[in-house]
Each structure stands twice: as structure tokens, then as C-alpha cells.
Amino acid sequence: MSERLCLADSGEAADLAAFLGRLVHYDRAAAVRLQAGGGALAVFGRPPSFEVLAIRTARLAEPLAAALDRTVSAGEFLEAIDEASGSATVPAAVTGPPWTGVLPPRGGWQQVPGLPGAEAMRAAVAGAVAEFRARDEALPAAHRTRAERDRIGREIWSRTLGETALPLRAVHAAQSLGFLRPVRSTVPAQPAVPDAPEPVALLACGSWLRLRTPYGSVVTRRPGEGGGLGALQVRPV
């Protein structure tokens, strides 16, 4: 029997649909792992090329009677979202790719200093994209091969951001998935709350790095410790 999810409001449904739409844009056969319990839903996806795991959470209006943990087709889940009513039907389970069998740690994350602001990160991505295009266009026709273009891409996107160990590819993924868009709020500005978490922050747990934003997170491994997600060995959850 299919589970019915009641999201907190239509905005949550629209944001979740936008995230799934971006994943499907990169991979029509994309799978996502869903975990829900209490009043929240977490959706894990892995867009190809970026070598990161993307995480989007959504608030639920009604807690589930039992915990949900299922890997489903991203496209089918997207089609099952009713933005008007703020609800969704969970599709049938599918056999997902290997990454769906392991997830990052749930706890133990510590904030890491040195992360530039969101605007600076967007500028860094724009600069890297411009550099790639310029170097690609400068290649002689005989050298404009997939292997050479991939080499240039790896060189650029493996660079770290500022004084952090966060690779630019993680920031590029966050930008491409809509996680770095400016925060818009109709609520009047409030005084700063001591010890309140930053809207955009870099967190670490062991060899993992997590770029957290108000719209979602991307996680990857520190450069030099396996690179990306391909060599990760993490505990199942």
C-alpha cells in the first residue's frame, strides 16, 4: 500500500518538486532514497558528474504512523507530488544504485570556519564556469576531445574554496540544484540571536564535508581521502 505524505504547505511541495526536477534533468533514471519519521522528510539524491550527495528536507504537516525508508524513482516521485494540496504519494520501491545503501552520519557534525558568504560562492562558481569555457574554446580542434575537456573540468572543480577543504564541485552542485539562491523572506529583519546557526555553513564529520544552506545540503569527502563519493566507505543507516 502506498504511503501518503502531507507536507507542511504548498511551498514545501513546490521546493521538493523543484529539487526532484533538477535531479531528473541531470539523470532521467535518477533514484532517490526517502527517509521520514516524526515531522520531517529527507530526500537523498546523487546528481551525476558532481561527485556529491544532495540532501533536501521537507516539513510534514502530519507525522507518519511508522518510519519510512525507501528508495524510489525520482521521476515517479516528482509526478506523485500535488503542489496544490501540498501532498505526495510515495511510489513503489526500486532497486537503487549502490550509493543508496549508505548515507552520511546523522550526528557528530561540527561547523568549520573560513567559508565565504553565499554571494562569494556564487561568484566563484561563475568564475570557474567562465574559465572552463575559455580554456575549452582555446583548445585546438585536434585536442578538443572528451578526455581533454574532462581533464580541464577535474582540474578546475577539484580546487578548494578559499581557506577551506571544500572542493568547488560541491559549491557548483549546490548552485546547480538551487541550494545557493538568495533567501527571500517577507518577515521583517530580526536582531541577531546569539549562537544561532549561519544560513550557509560548512560542517565536518570525520572525512565528510557538508555544505548546508536553507534550501538543502551537499556532502562529499575531503580531498585526498578518496575523493568525491566513489571511494567512500560509510556505515549503512
Residue 64 CB neighbours (<10 A) = 18
Task: Give CA separation, 105 vs 58, 108, 129, 198, 233, in Å.
Answer: 19, 7, 31, 21, 11
- Mean of all residue pLDDT scores within the chain: 87
Domain parsing of the chain, residue ranges: 4-99, 110-182+198-221
Query: Each residue of 114-127: pLDDT tens digit?
Result: 999 999 999 999 99
Using CA atoms, how far apart are residues 130 and 172, in angstroms rounded to an integer?
13
> pLDDT tens for residues 153-166?
999 999 999 889 99
CB 86 within 8 A of CB 9: yes
Query: What is the pLDDT at residue 225?
Result: 55
Query: Does the pLDDT value for residue 237 go beyond 50?
Result: no
Q: Residue 211 forms beta bridges with which residues?
A: 202, 218
Query: How confident is the model over 207-225, as a mean pLDDT?
Result: 88
C-alpha cell at 30: 535518477
Rg (CA), the chain: 19
Q: Please provide residue 153's backbone torsions phi and psi, each rounded to the nearest 5 degrees.
A: -60, -45
Residue 201, H or E segment: strand 201-205
pLDDT category, 199, cuts 50, 70, 90?
confident
User: Is it the case that residue 129 has pLDDT exceeding 70?
Assistant: yes
pLDDT score for 81: 97
pLDDT in tens, 2-52: 688 999 999 999 999 999 999 999 999 999 999 998 899 999 999 988 889
Q: Identify which of 26, 46, 59, 27 has the alpha carbon closest to the alpha carbon of residue 104.
A: 46
Task: Read off the amino acid at residue 15.
Answer: D
Q: pLDDT tens for residues 95-107?
A: 989 999 878 998 9
- d(CA 76, CA 110) in angstroms, rounded, equals 35
CATH superfamily of 4-99: DNA Polymerase III, subunit A, domain 2 (3.10.150.10)
For the cut 60, the answer to whether the pLDDT of residue 89 exceeds it is yes
Q: What φ, ψ does residue 57 adopt, rounded to 5°?
A: -110, 155
- The whole-model pTM stands at 0.85
Percentage with pLDDT > 70 across the chain: 86
Q: What is the DSSP letter of 136?
A: H
In this prediction, residue 63 carries a pLDDT of: 84
Instruction: Compute the average pLDDT of residues 191-200.
Output: 54
